[in-house]
């Protein structure tokens, strides 16, 4: 999926050998290209102009572990307000916010100026952070909150792979359709280290903030629409964010995120029939569902797997992507097996159960398991809740339902809802169970 978060933050070892600190804006190769392909020449001239205008407002943000002078991670940032206020990605500064005693942040401007960076405000949902670069206050870039139209020329600037300030050129494909989190689809190169840099239109107005690219795809990248940067700027505080307040802020942002997600899903879930069982299906346009199965005709048990993902998880920190909603149904049928052996296959199908997560961040599950009468059939349901260890009032929900009414058919369904308030999660568990129905 998305190469979000830490993956975007190039680590020191990811740096290509021999890469210098600065890469010239145009080189001999570009010069050759300019002669070969005339339309690109005009664009590149624009790129040069944009880079000249953007360069003074850019900083590279570097994170250091302890007192080390070798960096632990890095990203980009650009000036959005007077007084040295910069926008970057939350995932660039998350380690320093969550573990201020272990990490420190510094900036390095293209002019060579360096200094301390403090975080002033965060927006975990949209992966944004507002930081202050001490002793460096360039003129800010102008923000353009309306989303660029599909096909408009766009540019992205940042410090990819620690090879120096770089501009890439591409096309804005407008707002991503069927995405829970607002994203601008930028068809251009976005590489680790460019996180937090600006996405620009051809007049050097900021249309978004570089956030993610698909590692396996070509030139499919995303920008956070700049309106969220504007909103963050509006509620920035004067004092730096301490870890305690940051955690409260994260918790409340996660609650707002899951509240928005569950509200978008509604209280009556759409279902699809699977051999007599009505099971929750594509709950909303932004939920992505895939169905597959073993096509071999002579298997004693035919299994269909439907997996749905709201793709709504947000990067929180190392190995932590809460805010997501996924569910899976395994619908099983047999023509050849008797009821006893079929029941045993069902038993095996539910066996690899359990969701993983870092033990430092998550407490163990508390569960409730029982046989329950759902609409028209008996099922065994397990509903589990686990608390986040460092965030108050945030939980993960895990539900597993196994049908118990079929001699020759049945299903195992599991639901995972992460980073959500407890009562909201349990209400959704109820909605999920209530949607299931046996309609032979």
Contacts of 269 (CB under 8 A, 6+ apart): 280, 281, 283, 431, 432, 435
By CB under 8 A, tell whether 353 contacts other proteins. yes
Whole-number minimum distance, CB 341 to other proteins, in Å?
6
Examine residue 267 and tell whether it contacts other proteins (CB under 8 A). no
Other Cβ atoms less than 10 A from the Cβ of 299: the count is 12
Tokens (6 digits) for 219: 């030139």
Residue 165: CB minimum distance to other proteins, A: 34
Of the two residues 325 and 374, which places its CB atom closer to other proteins in the complex? Answer: 374
Site string for other proteins, 204-243 (x = CB under 8 A): ----------------------------------------
The span from the CA of 316 to the CA of 324, in Å, is 12
Task: Give the N- to C-terminal CA distance of the chain in Å, as an integer.
Answer: 37
Q: If DSSP states are collapsed to H, E and C, what string results for 296-327? A: CCCCCEEEEEEEEECCCCCCCECCECCCCEEE
What are the DSSP E strand ranges found in 206-300? 206-213, 221-225, 271-274, 277-280, 288-293
Residue 36 or 359 with smaller CB distance to other proteins: 359
Minimum Å gap between C-beta 344 and other proteins is 5
* Per-residue CA distances from 5 to 75, 210, 228 (Å): 11, 11, 18
Nearer to other proteins among residue 281 and residue 374 (C-beta):
374
Rounded to whole angstroms, the Cα distance separating 163 from 160 reads 6
348: enclosing H helix or E strand: helix 339-349
Under 8 Å between Cβ of 324 and 419: yes
Number of residues that bind other proteins (CB under 8 A): 69
Between 40 and 363, whose beta carbon lies closer to other proteins? 363
- Which residue of 59, 265, 362, 417 would you call a contact of other proteins, by CB under 8 A? 362
Least distance CB 358 / other proteins (angstroms)? 6
Query: Which among 401, 411, 393 is positioned nearest to 432, based on CA atoms?
Result: 401
- According to CB under 8 A, which one of 363, 416, 437, 438 is a site residue for other proteins? 363
Q: Which of 42, 149, 256, 422 binds other proteins (CB under 8 A)?
A: 422
* Structural contact between residues 108 and 62, judged by C-beta atoms closer than 8 angstroms: yes
Q: Comparing C-alpha atoms, which of 152, 96, 373 is closest to residue 88?
A: 96
Residue with tokens 């005009």: 42
For residue 358, state whether it binds other proteins (rule: CB under 8 A): yes
327: left (phi over 0), alpha (psi -120 to 50) or beta: beta
Is residue 1 part of the contact set for other proteins (CB under 8 A)? no
Of residues 89-118, those binding other proteins (CB under 8 A): none
**Subset of residues 273 to 312 that bind other proteins, contact rule: CB under 8 A:** 299-301
Which residues inside 366-395 make contact with other proteins, applying CB under 8 A? 366-374, 378-389, 395
Over 269-280, what HEC string results?
A: CCEEEECCEEEE
Residue from the set 207, 400, 409, 419 that interacts with other proteins by CB under 8 A: 400
x/- map, 312-351, other proteins, by CB under 8 A: ------xx----------------xx-xxxxxxxxxx-xx
Binds other proteins by CB under 8 A, chosen from 357, 416, 437, 438? 357
Which region among 21-29, 162-170, 322-330, 353-361 touches other proteins (by CB under 8 A)?
353-361
Q: How many CB atoms lie within 10 A of CB 36?
A: 8
Q: How many CB atoms lie within 10 A of CB 155?
A: 24
Task: Tell me whether strands 377-387 and 395-403 are parallel, antiparallel or unpaired.
Answer: antiparallel
Q: Report, in Å, the least distance between residue 390 CB and other proteins.
A: 9
In the complex, the smallest distance separating the C-beta of residue 354 from other proteins, rounded to whole angstroms, is 5
To other proteins, the closest distance from the beta carbon of 388 in angstroms equals: 8
Site for other proteins in 402-421 (CB under 8 A): 402, 404-407, 410
For the bound state, the minimum distance from the C-beta of residue 260 to other proteins, rounded and expressed in Å, comes to 21
Q: Roughly what angle, to the nearest 10 degrees, separates helices 38-54 and 28-36?
A: 140
Answer yes or no: are the C-beta atoms of 398 and 405 closer than 8 Å.
no
**Cβ closest to other proteins, residue 272 vs residue 431:** 431
Min dist. Cβ of residue 435 to other proteins (A) = 12
Q: 304 or 434, CB closer to other proteins?
A: 434
Residues in touch with other proteins (CB under 8 A): 299-301, 318-319, 336-337, 339-348, 350-351, 353-374, 378-389, 395, 398, 400, 402, 404-407, 410, 422-423, 426, 429-430, 433-434
């Amino acid at each position: 999926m998305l190469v979000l978060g830490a993956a975007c933050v190039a680590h020191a070892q990811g740096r290509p050998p021999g890469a210098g600190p600065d890469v010239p804006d145009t080189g001999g190769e570009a010069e050759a290209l300019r002669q070969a392909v005339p339309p690109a020449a005009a664009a590149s001239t624009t790129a040069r102009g944009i880079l000249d205008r953007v360069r003074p407002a850019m900083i590279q943000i570097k994170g250091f572990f302890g007192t080390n002078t070798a960096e632990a991670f890095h990203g980009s940032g650009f000036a959005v307000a007077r007084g040295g206020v910069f926008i970057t990605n939350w995932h660039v500064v998350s380690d320093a916010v969550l573990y201020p005693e272990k990490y420190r942040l510094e900036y390095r401007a293209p002019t060579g100026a360096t200094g301390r960076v403090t975080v002033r405000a965060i927006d975990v949902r949209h992966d944004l952070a507002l930081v202050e670069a001490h002793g460096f206050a360039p003129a800010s870039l102008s923000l353009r909150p309306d989303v660029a139209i599909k096909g408009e020329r766009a540019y992205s600037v940042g410090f990819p792979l620690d090879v120096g300030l770089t501009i890439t050129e591409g096309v804005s494909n407008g707002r991503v359709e069927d995405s829970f989190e607002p994203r601008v689809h930028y068809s251009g190169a976005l590489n680790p280290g460019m996180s937090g840099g600006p996405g620009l239109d051809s007049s050097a107005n900021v249309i978004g903030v570089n956030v993610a690219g698909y590692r396996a795809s070509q030139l499919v990248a995303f920008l956070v629409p700049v309106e969220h940067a504007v909103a963050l700027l509006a509620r920035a505080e004067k004092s730096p964010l301490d870890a305690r307040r940051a955690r409260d802020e994260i918790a409340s942002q996660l609650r707002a995120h899951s509240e928005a997600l569950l509200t978008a899903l509604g209280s009556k879930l759409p279902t699809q029939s699977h051999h007599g069982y009505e099971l929750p299906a594509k709950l909303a346009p932004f939920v992505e569902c895939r169905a597959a199965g073993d096509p071999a005709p002579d298997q004693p048990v035919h299994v269909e797997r439907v997996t749905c993902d709201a793709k709504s998880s947000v990067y929180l920190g190392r190995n932590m992507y809460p805010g997501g909603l996924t569910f899976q149904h395994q619908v099983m049928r047999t023509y050849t097996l008797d009821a006893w052996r079929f029941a045993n296959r069902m038993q095996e199908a539910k066996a690899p159960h359990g969701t993983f997560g870092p033990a430092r961040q998550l407490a163990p599950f508390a569960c409730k398991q029982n046989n329950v009468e759902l609409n028209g059939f008996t099922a065994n349901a397990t509903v589990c809740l686990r608390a986040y260890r460092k965030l108050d009032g945030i939980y993960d929900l895990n539900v597993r339902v196994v049908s118990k009414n079929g001699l020759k058919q049945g299903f195992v369904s599991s639901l995972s809802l992460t980073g959500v308030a407890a009562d909201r999660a349990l209400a959704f568990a109820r909605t999920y169970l209530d949607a299931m129905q046996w309609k032979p």
